[in-house]
Amino acid sequence: MDNKEKTCCFFGHREVAHNIRPKLTAIIERLITEDCVTDFYAGHQGQFDSMVYSVLKELKAKYPQIRYTVVLAYMPNEHIKEVYGEDTLFPDGWENVPKRFVISKRNDWMIQQSGFVVCYVHKITGGAVKFREKAEKKGLRIIDVLN
């Protein structure tokens, strides 16, 4: 099993229905217990990302072997450091990427690291849809929260 097969990333729309939290938790637990996923990458732009981070933080107490990282699209500021502490990564060389491209670069990077992607897609357009499709084309195992 290569490292990608132990890694999962997340894509979802900014707005999220709070009633999906139990299903999201069950999906992540299944990835840990059945698929041996140990590494998780998430963004930090919206409610879905915040929910993912919160669930992973809770599950870390039950599954100490997991690691979760918030992959930053922008240089960390004091607010980000307060919210996420040491749970962040800002890859080298991204400081010069134009702002309009940096979220796409971050999402492409997460796809390259992962074997799984959990998606919360409830619209027919947007970044979450685009990156779900990219992940599918790259052969990642897609898990849709809404299915």
Q: Which CATH number fits domain 3-144: 3.40.50.450, 3.90.550.10, 3.40.50.2000, 1.10.3720.10?
A: 3.40.50.450
pLDDT at 11: 94
Predicted confidence at residue 22, as pLDDT, reads 96
Residue 84, pLDDT above cutoff 80 = yes
Cα torsion 29, 113, 130, 24 to 10°: value is: 10
Q: What's the one-letter identity of residue 45?
A: Q
* Residues composing the chain: 147
Higher pLDDT, 135 or 93: 135
CA 124 to chain centre: 20
The token duo for 88 is 């962040």
Query: Over the stretch 100-127, which tens digit does the pLDDT of each residue have?
Result: 888 999 999 999 999 999 999 987 778 8
Q: How much is the pLDDT for 1?
A: 44
pLDDT tens per residue, range 27-66: 999 999 999 999 999 998 889 999 999 999 999 999 999 9
The overall pTM is greater than 0.85: yes
